Structure 1
């Protein structure tokens, strides 16, 4: 249940902030939040991360649907522990947020730009997906440390 509640919260926040950006800023308008460090930079991204796969709208919709299906499957089949549920909820909410943009607008609304490191412009959905995947990977690596590696070689 936590997966779906978190996904709805992430989706709602993502769509609310994107709506505010779309209705109060012009495309390519930049508003410094912390000059030379953090800027609101409204762009419409037809591709994936870093503009890759530009204009591959239907492929990216398919990928999002596969990710959403995988999250729902893992949640229903395995009933993961809370940490994994948080990660899955972040991924699900982010995937739904960007999927909505692709279906409705044909492009994803991006607006967060770390100018200090010239990091590509992204959005809350992208952040949620990234944090969710990192959390799942860290939990998986941590749980793998508790497993034995097989028979000990010290018995010779």
Structure 2
């Protein structure tokens, strides 16, 4: 038996991480909605960490509330762009980076297509709300979810990899990393 070409192994890494992130995001949102929606926050560490359900129609940090349809199409475009970029994937760090961003984007896109607050009736197509529930430093930091965390971690990794000169195709631009 011969080993898979390097590009296929990287795609396999991406194809393994994406459903894990997506599944964790959907599972945690479902559990939190069933147990906390309409209730007081669940305080885990006073002043530091609590779970509180909010429905976010905007982007990260509730920016652009009321522009849900725009963010839905942006999320769909991001998913398509990542899938197209993955065709050239030959780098393990970039496979992890793209997987984090894709899994997170799919999780929040699913919310925008299928979720909305109880009692609000069914929204117009593409105008659902993202479920956020993790609140650190209550009152001082935005509420977020697993998908948001994955997207942010993927974004930080992308900046780091680009700064160090690592390319998606597995090559390294050493001139960029030394500047």
Could you state the TM-score of these two structures normalised by the residue count of structure 2? Answer: 0.77
Which 5+ residue runs of structure 1 have no aligned equivalent? 150-156
Residue number among 82, 102, 106 corresponding to 2:112 in the alignment = 102
1:55 deviates by 2.0
CA distance in structure 2 between the aligned counterparts of 1:8 and 1:91, rounded to whole angstroms: 12
Q: Contact 2:104/2:151 (CA < 8 Å) preserved in 1? A: yes
Match of 1:85 in 2: 95
Match of 2:160 in 1: 138
Q: Contact 2:79/2:105 (CA < 8 Å) preserved in 1? A: yes
Structure ranking higher in helix proportion = 1
Could you state the TM-score of these two structures normalised by the residue count of structure 1? Answer: 0.88
**Alignment length (residue pairs):** 148
Instruction: Output the aligned Cα RMSD.
Output: 1.7
CA distance in structure 2 between the aligned counterparts of 1:143 and 1:130, rounded to whole angstroms: 20
1:6 is aligned to 2:17: yes
Which 5+ residue runs of structure 2 have no aligned equivalent? 1-11, 116-127, 167-171
SS at match of 1:122: coil
Residue number among 131, 134, 137 corresponding to 1:112 in the alignment = 134
SS at match of 2:100: helix
Match of 1:125 in 2: 147
Q: Contact 2:50/2:138 (CA < 8 Å) preserved in 1? A: no
CA distance in structure 2 between the aligned counterparts of 1:53 and 1:80, rounded to whole angstroms: 36
1:67 is aligned to 2:78: yes
